[in-house]
């Protein structure tokens, strides 16, 4: 097995937090228990996805507020909050509040685009302003300004017995520097670098210069760093789906292989009008997965990962997968668990 030139520094995981419509509490509790397990196993970070009008986490900031009170060390991230659904000022207040509650452990990941299925939700979401809403990068820039503590009003002082601030409160110093952009295009990579953000790359990207997933993702990482003030030291985290089978039962192995097999056809060619490309899921022993990762040119460019848990598995499956990642795959990549 080839050895990495530098060991993996930070190991995280990402979950969608699925739940049953008839018993949503159980699913949310499962997500919190998985985050608690991640901390016990020494993971550096736990990330939650964002799903609107689906049976996944619709309010990741609220879920992470709960997680912040059940953990003490692990970093807590969102991957990602689509800002088309959000008011940046209100979101800045929520993010800062959770960051304060967590002791400075929040890592907000965001993206910019119109809300998914916008034509179906525009009248519910923006009944009076749908035609003038800006869903581009300016929405992200506004959020960053608010998190940095820039003024949002020209009034600061006392009115009667109430004291008012001219910036978002609470203000959490350092939070803006822990904000990530989830991008799958060269334009997004360059823009995130210019803003001095951190960069999340996942198992989905756009076919632009090439229809080769690895080559495209590698070009995005390099474009981001070329435009970032920190250059090659700029933080990038990769989020591939990895499913180690070291301690899996025969039934679990069969389930995992079937899951990956059904998803493999979408990895052959760019999909849909947006020409989206999907990375293959990596299933096998930790040694086998480590060898595949070392052969992945984009993986060799990064030192942080947030491996994505499959969408539809059971709680016990996630326990087994996370345990194998922390105790076998992580060490095979040179990673050391946090105390």
| pLDDT of residue 179 exceeding 70 | yes
Measuring CA to CA, which residue among 96, 99, 85, 97 is closest to residue 145?
A: 96
Mean pLDDT of 113-138: 97
Mean pLDDT of 152-159: 97
Whether residue 114 contacts residue 86, with contact meaning beta carbons closer than 8 Å, is answered with no
Predicted pLDDT of residue 5: 59
Q: Which two tokens stand for residue 16?
A: 């969608």
What is the spatial distance between Cα 64 and Cα 169, in angstroms, rounded to a whole number? 19
**Is domain 10-332 given the CATH code 3.40.1440.60 in the classification?**
no
Q: Which two tokens stand for residue 50?
A: 């964002």
Predicted pLDDT of residue 162: 97
pLDDT grade for 339, boundaries at 50, 70 and 90? confident
Edge to edge, the sheet with strand 81-82 lists 81-82, 109-111, 180-182, 198-202, 236-239, 304-308, 10-15, 45-48, 75-78, 106-107
pLDDT grade for 3, boundaries at 50, 70 and 90? low
What is the spatial distance between Cα 302 and Cα 221, in angstroms, rounded to a whole number? 9
Query: How does pLDDT run across 86-112, given as a tens digit for each residue?
Result: 999 999 999 999 999 999 999 999 999
Whether residue 204 contacts residue 186, with contact meaning beta carbons closer than 8 Å, is answered with no
Query: How does pLDDT run across 184-209, given as a tens digit for each residue?
Result: 999 999 999 999 999 999 999 999 88
Predicted pLDDT of residue 264: 96
CA atoms within 13 A on the CB side of 213: 20
Which regions of the chain does DSSP assign to beta strands (E)? 10-15, 45-48, 75-78, 81-82, 106-107, 109-111, 157-159, 162-164, 180-182, 198-202, 204-206, 236-239, 242-244, 276-278, 282-284, 304-308
Share of the chain above pLDDT 90, in %: 96
Predicted pLDDT of residue 93: 98
Predicted pLDDT of residue 210: 87
Query: How does pLDDT run across 277-301, given as a tens digit for each residue?
Result: 999 999 999 999 999 999 999 999 9
What is the spatial distance between Cα 168 and Cα 149, in angstroms, rounded to a whole number? 6
Strand pairing class (204-206; 180-182): unpaired
Backbone angles phi, psi at 89, to 5 degrees: -65, -45
| pLDDT of residue 1 exceeding 70 | no
pLDDT grade for 4, boundaries at 50, 70 and 90? low
| pLDDT of residue 262 exceeding 50 | yes
What is the spatial distance between Cα 191 and Cα 185, in angstroms, rounded to a whole number? 10
Domain ranges of the chain: 10-332
| pLDDT of residue 2 exceeding 50 | no
């Amino acid at each position: 097995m080839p050895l990495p030139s530098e060991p993996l520094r930070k190991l995280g995981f990402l979950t969608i937090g699925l739940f049953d419509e008839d018993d949503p509490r159980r699913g949310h509790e499962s997500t919190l228990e998985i985050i608690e397990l991640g901390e016990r196993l020494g993971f550096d970070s736990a990330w939650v996805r964002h799903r609107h009008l689906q049976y996944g986490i619709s309010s990741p900031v609220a879920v992470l507020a709960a997680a912040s009170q059940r953990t003490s060390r692990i970093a807590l991230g969102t991957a990602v909050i689509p800002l088309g659904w959000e008011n940046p000022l209100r979101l800045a207040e929520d993010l800062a509040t959770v960051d304060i509650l967590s002791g400075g452990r929040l890592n907000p990941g965001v993206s910019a685009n119109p809300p998914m299925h916008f034509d179906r939700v525009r009248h519910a979401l923006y009944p009076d302003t749908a035609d003038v809403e800006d869903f581009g990068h300016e929405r992200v820039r506004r959020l960053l300004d608010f998190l940095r503590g820039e003024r949002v009003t020209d009034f600061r002082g006392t009115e009667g017995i109430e004291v008012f601030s001219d910036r978002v409160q609470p203000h959490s110093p350092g939070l803006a520097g822990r904000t990530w952009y989830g991008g799958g295009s060269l334009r997004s990579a360059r823009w995130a670098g210019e803003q001095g953000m951190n960069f999340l790359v996942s198992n989905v990207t756009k076919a632009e210069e090439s229809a080769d997933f690895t080559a495209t993702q590698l070009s995005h990482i390099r474009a981001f760093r070329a435009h970032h003030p920190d250059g090659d030291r700029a933080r990038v985290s990769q989020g591939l789906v990895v499913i180690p089978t070291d301690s899996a039962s025969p039934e679990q192995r069969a389930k995992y292989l079937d899951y990956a097999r059904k998803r493999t056809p979408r990895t052959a060619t760019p999909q849909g009008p947006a020409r989206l490309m999907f990375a293959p899921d990596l299933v096998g022993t930790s040694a086998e997965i480590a060898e595949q990762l070392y052969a992945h040119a984009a993986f060799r460019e990064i030192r942080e990962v947030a491996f994505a848990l499959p969408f539809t598995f059971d709680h016990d499956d996630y326990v087994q997968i996370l345990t194998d990642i922390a105790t076998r795959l992580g060490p095979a990549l040179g990673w050391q668990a946090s105390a």
